Structures are given as structure tokens and as C-alpha cells.
Structure 1
Amino acid sequence: MKEYKRILIVKMSSLGDVIHALPTLYAIRKNWPNAHITWAVHEQFSGPLPGKPWIDEVLFIDKKKLKSLRYLWSLRKVLHSHMFDMCLDLQCLAKSAIVAALSGAKEKYGYWELREGSQLINKALVGPNKYGHVIERYLDTVRALGGEVTGVEFPINESPEAAASCISKLTDAGLPQGHDYVVMAPGARWAVKEWPISSFGALANRLAEAKQYVVLIGAKGDKAKAQAIKDKAKSEAVFDMTGETSLEELIELIRGAKLFISADTGPLHIANALKRPLIGLYGTTSPERTGPYGGDYVHCIVSPTSKATPENPLVDDPDCMSQISVDQVWATAKTLL
């Protein structure tokens, strides 16, 4: 195995994808314990990234400026000053290939699925999980470089300050301090991934009737969805925290949950990284490729009409997710509660 002293990891977005790359960070640090590791990321997705000993430096990349020659020249100077001897592009898109090209690294690698011309910059590292789960695809890069992968671990950020702030916000919202709660995330990056809001509302109603507190999370744009769920649930035990937390606070809120429920979302992968009991709802995407990856705390419910596969990971079927019944999800939730 070759010794690397200064390593650049490029994984800039999105939230779930950054979390999927954390086990590779863990493996890199274990195999190159003395290396200086820098991670290039869009600032809004940097919340899950841990500090030392895992990452020595986080470098923010402004996506909006990647077409500016002045910005690219400035970025090149910053990257070259680090004198990287290896760059590992886990995004493998045009935007990440630009960063890799500007890095000045003597060796530039990506995982096998090089897209959007990134193969002109990076050398593909292929392993036995070419068509397996994306986490294993990323880990294959470490294996191909001669490193040893002993398991899947997520070195995710932990913030006592964010945890305290999160508890304060939940208490202000009316949740009794120190009480258990279930977290549900009704939104998703793509609408086709979402479970119907009426189904979330019916599930929230059943949880509330079972004397479970429910906390709804998401972006500010999910406020209307959260309100619709509250209206359907008709219970003071359902709390709306959509748009009320930073990413660091969101991580701590999920860390404290007794159960997490959502479709294929970034917060679902946070729950997986934190090893919280979870229910992932799938249909238009394939859990074999991007589902929660862990132990017996992971429970996925797949739509009976799903046509998504690891090779065809996103199917545009607007009716697929609605085929998952509230009864199915409730039956699984009861066993976990």
C-alpha cells in the first residue's frame, strides 16, 4: 500500500451522498493514520462532517462560482498550496472533476462510475461491488488502493452546543423535556420519492393515539406539508420543527429519536449513520443501492409496484409510493416501539 501524506476528498453534495461517503473517510483514516485529510464540500452540506482526528480541514466550494474564471484561478491557488499527493473524487461529476483537476494532486482517482467527463481527469478505481450499494462502491476505492476495509462505520459530527439548542427548541415547542419522541420527515429532494402526506397524517394520528410524541422535520419549504399532517393527526402530540433547525441541530434531534420514519431522504441517512431505529420507505428508488446500510435497526418497506433497481436507481412513477399502506408502516412501527 502506497503511503499518502496529503489527501483531498471531493464530495460536495447532497446530504445523503455526503453521509454515504463517511465510511470511506473512516477507512482512509484507518489506513493512512498520519495523512493530512482535507474534504471539499458545499457549505450547506458540511454539517455531518466530523473534525479531528478524521478530517484535518474542510474546504468550502462555491457551486455558483465554478463557471467564473476568477474564482477558478483563486481556487487553484488555494488547492495547490496544500500540495496534495492524492485526490479522491467520490462525486464523479463535472463539477467535482473541476475541483480534482485544480487540486494539483499527483494522483487523481474516482470510483468506477465516472460521469459527465470526469473520466478525463480521474482514474476509475473498480472493485467487487461495482453494482452493489453505493457505500460499498465508495469503499472499493480504498480496497483498490491497497487499503483494508474492516467494516462500515460513520464518523459523523457531534455537537453538544447544537444538542442543547435542539432540546431548548423542542421544549419551547411544548415537548416535555426528557420525553421520548418519534421523528418523521415528510419531504424529499424529489417529489416522486415522497410518501403521500395523507399517509403521513394517518400514521401521525396512530402514533399520537398510542401516546407517542411526533416531531416533524424538514426544510422551510416543507411547512405546508407539516401543517397538513398536523391537521390530519388532530393531536397536540405532533410538533412541527420544519425549517426550525440548523443541520447540526437536525443531527442532534435525530440522535435523540426513539424511531425515525421517512422516504429516501438525507435525514434518513443521518438516522442510519447514528444507528437509530428507522423505517425507510422506498419504491421509486432502490434500497439495494441507496438504502440505509447497517444492522438490525434498519427496516425498509418497499412499494409492491417498485421497478427501481441498483442499475436503474430512480424511476419516475407518481403512483408508486402511494402503494405503501399506512397499515404496513404502522405494523412495523409497533414492533419497534
Structure 2
Amino acid sequence: MNMIKKIKIKLTILLLGNKKKYKNINLKDVKTVLLSPKDALGDTLISFSHARQLRKMYPYAKIGIVSTIRNKNFIKLINQKEKVFDEIVDRKKIIRHRKKWDLLLDFKDQINTKRLIWTKILKPKIIISFGKDKAGHYFSRKNIKIYDFVTAPPEKAHIVDYLMYSEFSKYFNIEKEIPKLELNGFEVSKMVKNWNLKRRKIKILLAPQGNDRCIKIEELAKFLNDINFENVKFIMSKTSGSEKYFEKLTSLLKSNIDISLSKAFSIEEYVNFLASSDIVVGVDSGSVHIACALKKPVLSFYANNEANLYRWSPVPNKNVDSLQIISNIAGTQNDLYDFPMEDAVKWLNIEINKIYGQSER
């Protein structure tokens, strides 16, 4: 690191890395709470579980969530029925909210200059951090002193339970809140036409790709070829790069498998389309977590990474069938290959027969 960069870092820490600490903090006195999650769909969905916990702690408080272009419409969709959040705060218009929040819950991991400036402008009274530092980075929660409390959940804690390991636990009895999602039934029914069914079939949504990960195409093809697919319609969700993935996948499939690639949906359309499916098969991604929240049977494929499994495994409803398949090979959270597919085939065939049998009654 050169001298100029070192000087910039020191100046940043001096100007932005400190804040006034309130003495004798009593978290029972909080009147306004703002959540700032990562803007991925899974993180956004989990923030609603946190907000439900906060609502039980603070029944009369104003609870808000920070939004970006990426997750704003998803927040509105989830919030339209239950009204968990009282206010959706545009991250780019934070100046309007300066000094208006008693408590900020910051779930972002890496600290950077833009985030420090943003927090300085917002100027909440109290900040609780739930993020994790990147090893070796020049900003950390040791030299950045803007946090009143830094939460370090156990390594085996799921992210949905983070509040239960925080400063809140000293003041409140916090109950677990699994993700849930209620949609407009009419909007969901409108999406059934996108399955293009000529006769009754089990609708299976495939989500084999995440933001930075995907299941190995050859493994997925073998898995699908082994399924009892006579009464099944597969649709693969369309994401960045999905056309090439789908083209290679279909070249390896039996010719009589009924499969297609979805059209490009808005986030609202995609969630309603997912809700119109009977079963969801996907990798560690927002689709799997949304499916669990919608109480859909879910077959999920996860890398054999202990930290990620503890933090981000699916949280299904206890009354809904689900199976998590974990890679045989330990690695990073993106190493999605070498799965025990015989377990996945068996589970999905049983689920298909169960749902098809129920629909015949």
C-alpha cells in the first residue's frame, strides 16, 4: 500500500470512522428502527422475519427498511398485504432521513468509504452491526468506531436468528420467525398461462443458477433424465446467461422431456410465477428461500460449505415437504457439483406422484 493511500485511509477513519456514543442506552426506549440489509432477494426476505420480531418488541414503533433499485419492488410486493414495514427508505435519498432514526440495524458486511459517508449523513442515534469483516481489509469494526454494538452470532447460527444473539436479547424474549410470504391469489392465477399446459401436469420450476453459482449442467441433465417426467412440465427460470446454460442442458436431455425456458419477468411477475408452480428445484438462491416462504415443496442443492450451510440453509415450513441435497465435496459456497443425485431423484419422484395423485381426486 503506497503512502497516499495510507493517508486517505487515516483521514477517512478520522472524519467518518467515529460517532457520538449515547450513554446509558436502553433499547426498550426506541421509537424508530431502520433495517439496512444486503439487497439480494434472500437477504431482503429475511429482513421481514427480523421486522416481525421487532414489531413484537416495539408494537408502537416506526419500522423502516432501506431499499435499492434491485430490491425496492420486491419489498413492496412482500409488504403489500402484511404491512410489516411502515416506511421504505430509498438508499439514494437518505438526506431526507437525517437524524430521524433512533436505531439502525446494519447487516452489510464489508465497510467502505461510501457506506461510511451514507451512515454519517443518516446520523442515527444508535447503530447495531451484524456484518462480518473481510480478513486483511483496511477498514474493520476494530478501527471504525461508529457502532454502538457489534453482534457476533455463533458460527452455527442461521441469519434468520441473528436478532436472538444480539443486544436485543438482554431486553426481550425473542421468538424465531421463519420467512413467510402472502401474495394476491388473482395475480398468481394469471401466471398459470405461462406454463402453456395442454393437459394436466405437475409444474416444476427449475432455478439451477444463482447470482454467482450454478449446478453443473451434466449433473442436472442426468438428474432430470432419471425423473418420472411423463406428467411433468419443467420451466427453467431465465437469468443472466441462462440461454447458453439452457441450450447445453436440453442437448443432454431425453427428447420427450417437456421443458422450456421462461420469459424474462419483472421481480413481481417472477415471484407470482414461482407461486404458480407445484414444486421448486433450485440451488442456494433467492428462489429457494422465496419458495420456502410460499410453503412450496422445495428440492434444494447446496455446496458443502459449513459456514454457508449454517447461515443460509432453507427454512421450510414444518408441514411442507422439502429436501436439501449437499455436495459430497467440501469447498466454497459456489462449488455446486458431485451431488448424491439418487436421493434427489427418489424424493422428487415421490413428490410428483403425491401431488399428481391429489390432483386426480
- Residue of structure 2 aligned with 1:121, choices 137, 146, 151: 146
Indicate conservation of the 8 Å contact 1:4/1:35, yes or no: yes
- When residues 282 and 123 of structure 1 are mapped into structure 2, their CA distance, relative to the original with a 3 A threshold, is same
- When residues 130 and 199 of structure 1 are mapped into structure 2, their CA distance, relative to the original with a 3 A threshold, is closer
What residue number does 2:106 align with? 89
Helix, strand or coil at the partner of 1:283: strand
Q: Offset of 1:186 from its aligned partner?
A: 1.7
Q: Offset of 1:101 from its aligned partner?
A: 3.2
- Residue of structure 1 aligned with 2:348, choices 297, 322, 333: 333
Q: Offset of 1:267 from its aligned partner?
A: 0.9
In structure 2, how many angstroms separate the alpha carbons of the residues matched to 1:217 and 1:291? 21
What residue number does 2:123 align with? 104
Helix, strand or coil at the partner of 2:28: coil
Does 2:258 match 1:237? yes
Indicate conservation of the 8 Å contact 1:47/1:157, yes or no: no
Q: Residue type of the partner of 1:53?
A: K
Q: Offset of 1:114 from its aligned partner?
A: 5.2
- Residue of structure 1 aligned with 2:57, choices 31, 36, 43: 31
Helix, strand or coil at the partner of 2:174: coil
- When residues 120 and 272 of structure 1 are mapped into structure 2, their CA distance, relative to the original with a 3 A threshold, is farther
Give the unaligned 5+ runs of structure 2. Answer: 1-26, 353-361
Stretch moving more, 298-307 or 154-163: 154-163
Q: Deviations over 1:249-285 (max 9, x none)?
A: 2222222322211121121111122222112212254
What residue number does 1:324 align with? 339
Q: Give the structure with higher Rg (CA).
A: 2
Number of residue equivalences? 309
- TM-score, with structure 1 as normaliser: 0.79
Mapping 1:38-187, distance limit 5 Å: 38-49=64-75, 50-51=78-79, 53-61=83-91, 75-80=93-98, 83-94=100-111, 96-111=115-130, 113=132, 116-117=139-140, 119-126=144-151, 129=154, 131-141=156-166, 143-144=168-169, 146-156=171-181, 158-160=183-185, 162-170=187-195, 174-176=196-198, 179-187=201-209
- TM-score, with structure 2 as normaliser: 0.75
Helix, strand or coil at the partner of 2:108: coil
Give the unaligned 5+ runs of structure 1. Answer: 63-74, 308-313
Does 2:215 match 1:195? yes
Q: Offset of 1:181 from its aligned partner?
A: 0.8
What residue number does 1:254 align with? 274
The CA RMSD over aligned residues, in Å, is 2.9
Q: Deviations over 1:87-137 (max 9, x none)?
A: 111224325554433222111111263565455322334376454222222
Q: Offset of 1:5 from its aligned partner?
A: 2.1
Helix, strand or coil at the partner of 1:271: helix
What residue number does 1:301 align with? 325
In structure 2, how many angstroms separate the alpha carbons of the residues matched to 1:21 and 1:97? 21
